[in-house]
Structure 1
Amino acid sequence: MQYVVDGVVVRTGTDNSHEDTEETPQWRSCTRGRSKRQNVYGVERLKYPIKRKHWNPDDKEYHPELRGKDEWERISWDEAIRLAGSEIKRIYSDYGPESVLLTTYYALPNLFSYLGGYYSWEDTVSYGSYTATCETLGLSYYGEPGLPAMNDRLDLKNAEWIVMTGGNPGWASTGNPLYYFQLARDSGTQYAYIGPTYNVSAAALDARWVPLRNGTDTPFWLAVAYEMIRMDEELGDVIDWDFLNKYCLGFDMEHMPEDAVENECFKDYVLGRYDSVPKTPEWATEMCGTPVEDITWVAGIMSKRHKTMLLFSFAGFRCTGSENLSQAMMTVALMGGHAGKSGHGFGPGLYGQFAANGGEHLVRFGKYDYPTIDNPIAEKVIPGIKGWTSIADGHYTSYSSANLLDAADSFHGPEEHDLDIRLWYSCSNNSLHTKGNGQLEGVRALREGNIECVISQDMFVTDTVMFSDLVLPVTTPWEGNLDPNEGDVMWACNTTAMDGDTNGDHNKEIFPSVHPIIKPMFDTKSDGWIWRRLCGEIGIDEKEVFPVSEVQFWFDLTADATFRNEDGEFQHIFNVRQETIDKYGVDYEVQADGVMDLEDFFKQGYFSVDRKLEGDPHVFIKYKDFIDDPMANPLSTTSGKFEIYSQKKADSYNVCGLSEEPIKGYANYYVPTNGYVKSFANWESKEPGEFPFLLSQTHYLRRAHTQNDGSTWLREALENPIFINRSDADAKGIETGDTVRVWNEYGQILRQASVLSSIMPGCVALPHGPHFDLDETDPDNPIDLAGSEAMLLGPEVSNYHYALSGYNTTLCDFEKYQGAPMPRDCDRLIAHIDFEEN
């Protein structure tokens, strides 16, 4: 809720229209939400169309070497649309669609597909290796019940233990996840936290810390499985054999899938019968750093004797060598029978807005009246981890014919392609930061490659914007104009429907408004306004690409929304009166079967589905239908059961041919191409390598990816340090507040140190997302003064997944900086653009 006075947002409120109860709690804004006002009025806001001074395409003057250095000129919207449209038309005509790179999550691909297609690059982004084999193993992904694949929040208190790994919802998640977890704690649920740091979420829940080096999760879970097998043989009643035998395939030789090629099973592998290496806690601790007794303890609480939930985020999957991690964690959970029952479960229940809030979608958006125009060259996917290098060098190797959020069964053998990118169009997508090593390889591609035109369409000054030729500033989700007498008609929230999910399904009970609350600021336009003007400039009928008006689109999406009622049926949320239809000038029928007037919703800004502590009809238990009747409700696997051995998984990965050692059908261990083992020059003798520290890239309270990095309030409230273990800092003479140089073979950064005892020795952590600030005094050895973690991320390919970005297995070294101390971030210049009037 925003409070507006005389057309200006003066502060952010919270959800206070109803009593704050456990059934329907009030949603609280996090620090980022409270600072959103600065997104509208802050120094990093893009205010006017601008172009780079020495980029003059009319005269064939591009001067790419000046990107990131050039001065800026303010131009009119007429000039901006003319330049953008003419360059798009020229480059498609002169070079064809394979010369165009488009990076966006929004509706703009329809326009570029209509023109003949475009290149995109794909990497594993937030989900790492997890989504590659979801359907193959039996794990749900998008669609009902959605990404969380976890029990409803009201079921958390029915667990005896919640084991958390690879997540920190107290920092990284919206909504009330810690509140839900604390309610369960107060009801008797106990917590364990597994990871390299004892973070604030673990501390808030009094969790037992089980230390685990980042990127070593798979050997840890293999050792847990070994201990469960050992304890079951010695004590009994640890493994749920009835559950395994009925619902799973591949655990032992008596229950193998029909398509298995190898005569091997998970149980015998863990016991060492194939390689003479039992996967004992003693074997795992050498890699994981986890004490043997902790591994045994985790095995005990994962047993069938306890009602246990295994919840994780995706940090462990954003590591090289994590291709088998989802299968390993799934196997351990299934060994204890932890699926399909109240108080039991496993899945990504710590992730983002879904943390502690799994279950079915209770609210859905309405009609989505944009057609999907297929991209004719969509199957030529550039691996994002090597994207910038590929563009700079003019060549790439593809291994997949589909978006990486799809299954790995779209992978194929290596195919070589030449690459000649002439146009890069970035729409609210900061790829110069978020794709690996953009600070060095990306800058090289933009300054030394063939790219003639870089267009950014965005709200903020981002790294990508700073290296663009033409910048089109867009409205924020709070801004819009619905009165044609007061300027161009533009709806609010033009880029995405909700949480990036334009099909309207979401997993929140809150349904935020998509209605303007203030007029467009400065000289900004909505995304929809820009797209439609580009159609006209290029010379195509906008109705072919965007068949309904911007206002009609958003009105339909909102007014036609539904919610799941107590009978389990979806019904309209809103009553829509003829006066409202006339007011917005849209084509819509009067609607009277809702529970709330649409105009009241536009004023209030959200809708809540009421919940009940007793007899709630919406309580969801993941996999319950399958467990109750596996024949009638098969899983998405080849067999219809959980596949602890999956031939399809093995075949999908092995087809890429990246490793001489084929991956197994079950979760086996292999030495990752990067990470802890590779930090040694000699693993057997434990001789340290050149870069002996293991870096993780944590999500942080100050930002959402790179958004909010320019908030002065958040900069004052929260530092952006490098987190270092006490013993490691002492060995290098470093104290909290000291300036530290961090480097590896890809780049170097400066940061202040935060010395802790709550991070494992040998591990360091950098908050993810600061805009880079390159000091190019030495152009051959630039240093990033802002501490961007992406500066240190190289293009290492994982063993089997051709585009797995190993954010959390980055290797580095650090030392106390010998130069002048760095100022605090709140005292440093925030990224902004000064321009000349043209």
Structure 2
Amino acid sequence: MSELGHDRASSVAQISRRGFLGATAAATAALALSGCSPTDSENTLELGETGSLEEGEWVALPCNCGVCCNIGYVVDNMVVRQKTDDTGEDTDENPQNRCCVRGRMSRQRYMGADRLKYPMKRKNWQPGGVDFHGELRGRDEWERISWDEALDLVAGEVKRIMDNHGPKSFFCGVSGDGHGGGAAGGQVTRLLNAMGGCVYVWGTQSYGGIPVVSTFMEGDPWSYGMMETQDVFTACKADTAIIFGLAAGSLANSWYRAMKHAGVRFIVIDPWFSGQTEQVADMWVPVRPGTDGALLLGMAYHMIENNLHDQEFLDAYTVGFDADHMPEDATTNENFKDYVLGAYDETPKTPEWASEICGVSPDKIRELAEIATSASPLIWRSTQAPARTENGQNYTQLFYAVGWMTGNVGFEGAEVAMANPQSVGMGSSMILPGSPGIEIVTNPICEGPAEVSMLDKGGYDPEKFYGLPYGGAWEAIVSGKYTDFVHGEQPIDIRCIWKINSCSPLNQFSGASKGIEAFRKVEFVVTSDLFMTSDCEYSDIVLPAASFWETPWSNAGQVMPLNPRALFFGGKQVIEPLFEAKDDVWMEEELAKRLDIDPKLIRNISWEQASYNVLATTQVMKDDFSGMEPLAAITQEDIDEFGVEGTPQEGRVPIKELLEQGYYAAQRSPDDPYAITPKRADYRNDPVANPRNTPSGKYEIYSQSLTNYMEIYGTTPVVEPLPKYRPADEGYEQTFANWETKEKGEYPFQVISTHSARSVHSSFHNVRQLNEVHANNLMINANDAAALGLEQDETVLVTSKHGKILRRVNITPRIMPGVLMIGEGNWINLNEEGIDEGGSANILAGGHVVGHGHQPWNTCLVKVEKWDGEPLLPDCQRPYRTFDFE
């Protein structure tokens, strides 16, 4: 370890820069890709001088998303080979948990040449809150400092700001594990909480407008409606699956593959013809973003006019469909049927009306309506993507209402659910993960993630402080005020942005341009990370963090209940921390010592003890399904060898064998007693004895309680109790300067941001091989490109009301005309003109506080122009963000 490092050298890998780069090539050489492989001597990775392939061992590798089964071959503290799940047969009933392309590139990420190697300080920043030169954040130079100096500086600023301004002056944007090293009970900001607390965020990022609507219409406050999704064994009994916004991913692939093999017909409604759609869809119906609700109303009109809907189901199990079945608490006499027929606004929601808005032909809308009402069993499913719009709650209301019109609830192969297939599995029944025994440090001033989720379940408490909304956090920091639910506008004075063991708020929150303003305004920003990410670039102190692979805790106790075959990871630490990297909780422990805080508040037990506790307390279903038994068999010799406290026990697998294998698979079969029976079967069989958790006890197409509850959020526009179509702010209708004449306005294109095969949010963005194979270029329809005179891979300037980015174009028929697509997760890289050459989708997306604080990423308008400056290099050829100090 470098002489500038802190003590603890015995537990840190002793490795030079050349040795690190050399040993890493074995991890990249085999998969190096011609166009973007490093060619300069600085970044060429070749087999090191020490270690051989005969001297290593296979070790389970944890990952960000908790889905892949990833195994690495470790030689001389380097992962030099990888493999995935190769146990058992790969069948529809028990598919192998194979790695996706990101998991297979984990070596290139965690052992990349651009890893942060030592603490750094921004050159023109000085402590004290006066000479911090926030305007230079993102532009300044960096200098290397020691761990002692870094920790002293951070502790001094934390104490100064806490003493002078109190805990509400600290902002921690994301309450979740950042790198895996700080997984102390899954909690961040333990130090700040011990000192008095800090400000978190509330709202939803992934679920869009679904949660609150599902709570009040469907009556399932604990699952966002997802628990209505059946498992793969019963899903295979469906006749047809109509899916809005098809989910991607290895586990979704295994579900859909099994359903396809069983003969299920797939209809996918999505603006984008994805690779997943290509694999399974029998019919692709492109629809404009934010207009799915109009499509649904056009389908409903055809159903009603032709008496195709299930009136008996609607009468018995819902309220609000027609005038004869209104809930007792309704404050208007409007019902869904009459709204669809145009009784209230003199606008019948005909397929022709819908087609003008959503872009689907009237005949296709009629065909969809007839398929939805004739196919049985029908899977009527939406992923979260269509609800990540400004009018996402309206869409959710309409999705449920039209789905219930088909009557496909409560029997095998049928469902009306808003979920991905990953949302359910049998891991929670067949494998029960143990507890690490790590104590929680409660935030005394702000509600944490679990309590914030109660907002979506109807549990708002006016006496509690929930923090800042995702979509409005940056504006609140810049303006010094925010809206606090029923309390209205309130002041806020954030002086420090804290990002130790956290994710990437600057890069991943919408309104990133305003986020840069926020980062430049505050007095102090501290960040820990693996690489020089966007948040690091706008910080004052940057601390090199240990990865998932470099701490014992991260690789124990991870359960994957996402597949018919549940997997439990019980592995061990993969490698020792590289260079001067430290785990995040160690950082907070050291800061606690400097601030006279008991370090045991940060970590009350060792990582080794926490890892052992998980293994010792994990339970697995007995072979005869008669109950649970311990997974790990443990002897006193094991306990003594591990140096932990424990008690010997009988178990399914010897603990050393479990650690050697790295994971344990629990097999499923269609006839076992743990197949998920169709949800709501009890409700369908006896709705009186098994009412839904709504005021009427039924599914509420008209939900007065939804409108009443949404009033506490103080957001606009108000969510009405009756499902109606409302054009989205920055939606399709606003691409026109004049809707009647169809004259296009300043921003004529809709842009959506999607999950990309090349990254997990912002993770893996810096892996060159992924950027070559899955280039994150701007996807544009061939007709639109021709009208703009664009050629393939040409650089364009993309401008919204909120910011500008440069992107190379990918001209394709896979995106519908008028719609553009970019993968989310690109790291911000502003040039001197303030244009983002990194291509972050959140520079284009503005910060909005809408609905229940959901993120409306897929409602954003832009214009596209040819770029007359220097052409943009492909992302895979951009220089690494590395630092070498003499």
TM-score, reference length from structure 1? 0.89
Residue in 2 aligned with 1:587?
A: 645
> 1:114 aligns to what SS in structure 2?
helix
Offset at residue 492 of structure 1 (A): 3.8
Residue in 2 aligned with 1:406?
A: none
1:679–1:796 Cα change, 3 Å: farther
Residue in 1 aligned with 2:264?
A: 189
Q: How does 1:355-366 map to 2 (within 5 A)?
A: 361-366=429-434
Residue in 2 aligned with 1:419?
A: 493
Residue in 1 aligned with 2:863?
A: 813
1:274–1:428 Cα change, 3 Å: same
Residue range with higher mean Cα deviation, 809-818 or 132-141: 132-141
Residue in 2 aligned with 1:397?
A: 483
Residue range with higher mean Cα deviation, 274-283 or 104-113: 104-113
CA distance in 1, matches of 2:634, 2:252: 34
Unaligned runs of 5+ in 2: 1-70, 178-186, 448-464
1:669–1:95 Cα change, 3 Å: same
One-letter amino acid of the counterpart of residue 505, structure 2:
S
Residue in 2 aligned with 1:682?
A: 738
Offset at residue 658 of structure 1 (A): 4.3
CA distance in 2, matches of 1:687, 1:146: 40
Please point out which of 402, 411, 417 is paired with 1:347: 417
> 1:486-528: per-residue Cα shift (whole Å, max 9, x none)?
xxxxx2418x9759x9xx9999712233520222221111223
Please point out which of 199, 206, 212 is paired with 1:132: 212
Please point out which of 210, 224, 229 is paired with 2:304: 229
Q: How does 1:71-82 map to 2 (within 5 A)?
A: 71-82=141-152
Q: Are positions 1:479 and 2:550 aligned together? A: yes
1:76–1:732 Cα change, 3 Å: same
Residue in 2 aligned with 1:218?
A: 293
Q: Are positions 1:522 and 2:579 aligned together? A: yes
CA distance in 1, matches of 2:734, 2:711: 22
Q: Are positions 1:825 and 2:884 aligned together? A: no
Offset at residue 30 of structure 1 (A): 0.7
Residue range with higher mean Cα deviation, 79-88 or 761-770: 79-88
1:833–1:14 Cα change, 3 Å: same
1:453–1:394 Cα change, 3 Å: same
Conservation of the 8 A alpha-carbon contact between 1:156 and 1:181: no
Residue in 2 aligned with 1:298?
A: 368
Please point out which of 793, 797, 804 is paired with 2:854: 804
1:527–1:640 Cα change, 3 Å: farther
> 1:341-400: per-residue Cα shift (whole Å, max 9, x none)?
11111324436x44x85896543321253235143244153222222222122222233x
Offset at residue 692 of structure 1 (A): 0.6
1:345–1:478 Cα change, 3 Å: same
Offset at residue 783 of structure 1 (A): 1.2
Offset at residue 808 of structure 1 (A): 0.7
Please point out which of 660, 663, 669 is paired with 1:606: 663
Residue in 2 aligned with 1:462?
A: 533
CA distance in 2, matches of 1:240, 1:570: 43
CA distance in 2, matches of 1:817, 1:214: 26
One-letter amino acid of the counterpart of residue 375, structure 1:
P
> 2:569 aligns to what SS in structure 1?
coil
One-letter amino acid of the counterpart of residue 162, structure 1:
A
1:14–1:506 Cα change, 3 Å: closer
1:413–1:528 Cα change, 3 Å: closer
Offset at residue 708 of structure 1 (A): 0.2
1:760–1:464 Cα change, 3 Å: same
One-letter amino acid of the counterpart of residue 470, structure 1:
I
CA distance in 1, matches of 2:562, 2:874: 41
Offset at residue 764 of structure 1 (A): 0.8
CA distance in 2, matches of 1:312, 1:429: 27
Residue in 2 aligned with 1:793?
A: 845
Conservation of the 8 A alpha-carbon contact between 2:231 and 2:676: yes
Please point out which of 310, 324, 329 is paired with 2:394: 324
Please point out which of 497, 511, 525 is paired with 1:437: 511
1:682–1:329 Cα change, 3 Å: same
> 1:640-695: per-residue Cα shift (whole Å, max 9, x none)?
32221111111122344544x74321211223222111111122222211001000
CA distance in 2, matches of 1:152, 1:711: 35
One-letter amino acid of the counterpart of residue 837, structure 2:
L
Residue in 2 aligned with 1:576?
A: 634
Offset at residue 429 of structure 1 (A): 1.5
Conservation of the 8 A alpha-carbon contact between 2:500 and 2:584: no
CA distance in 2, matches of 1:662, 1:73: 51
Offset at residue 139 of structure 1 (A): 5.6
1:686–1:357 Cα change, 3 Å: farther
CA distance in 2, matches of 1:77, 1:497: 31
Residue in 2 aligned with 1:241?
A: 311
Q: How does 1:2-81 map to 2 (within 5 A)?
A: 2-57=72-127, 61-81=131-151
One-letter amino acid of the counterpart of residue 444, structure 1:
E
Q: Are positions 1:721 and 2:777 aligned together? A: yes
One-letter amino acid of the counterpart of residue 816, structure 1:
K
> 2:269 aligns to what SS in structure 1?
strand
CA distance in 2, matches of 1:493, 1:359: 19
> 1:693-746: per-residue Cα shift (whole Å, max 9, x none)?
000101111111110011121122221111111111111111222112111222
1:689–1:570 Cα change, 3 Å: farther
> 1:162-194: per-residue Cα shift (whole Å, max 9, x none)?
11211341xxx2x33223312222221111010
1:253–1:515 Cα change, 3 Å: farther
Residue in 2 aligned with 1:367?
A: 435
1:738–1:324 Cα change, 3 Å: same
1:544–1:820 Cα change, 3 Å: closer
> 1:510 aligns to what SS in structure 2?
strand
1:524–1:658 Cα change, 3 Å: closer
Conservation of the 8 A alpha-carbon contact between 2:497 and 2:519: no
1:261–1:357 Cα change, 3 Å: same
Conservation of the 8 A alpha-carbon contact between 2:553 and 2:610: no
One-letter amino acid of the counterpart of residue 674, structure 1:
E
RMSD: 2.6
CA distance in 2, matches of 1:315, 1:694: 15
1:359–1:598 Cα change, 3 Å: closer
Conservation of the 8 A alpha-carbon contact between 1:103 and 1:425: yes
> 1:301-339: per-residue Cα shift (whole Å, max 9, x none)?
221652110222211111111112222111222221222
Conservation of the 8 A alpha-carbon contact between 1:14 and 1:28: yes
Conservation of the 8 A alpha-carbon contact between 1:149 and 1:359: no
Conservation of the 8 A alpha-carbon contact between 1:349 and 1:357: no
Offset at residue 146 of structure 1 (A): 8.8
Q: How does 1:119-198 map to 2 (within 5 A)?
A: 119-138=199-218, 140=220, 142=222, 147=226, 149-169=228-248, 173=249, 175-198=250-273
1:72–1:148 Cα change, 3 Å: farther
CA distance in 1, matches of 2:756, 2:725: 31
Conservation of the 8 A alpha-carbon contact between 1:723 and 1:754: yes
Residue range with higher mean Cα deviation, 683-692 or 424-433: 424-433
Offset at residue 560 of structure 1 (A): 1.2
Residue in 2 aligned with 1:404?
A: none
1:655–1:276 Cα change, 3 Å: farther
Please point out which of 721, 736, 748 is paired with 2:792: 736
CA distance in 1, matches of 2:714, 2:590: 46
Residue in 2 aligned with 1:405?
A: none
Q: Are positions 1:692 and 2:748 aligned together? A: yes
> 2:869 aligns to what SS in structure 1?
coil
One-letter amino acid of the counterpart of residue 728, structure 1:
D
> 1:512 aligns to what SS in structure 2?
strand
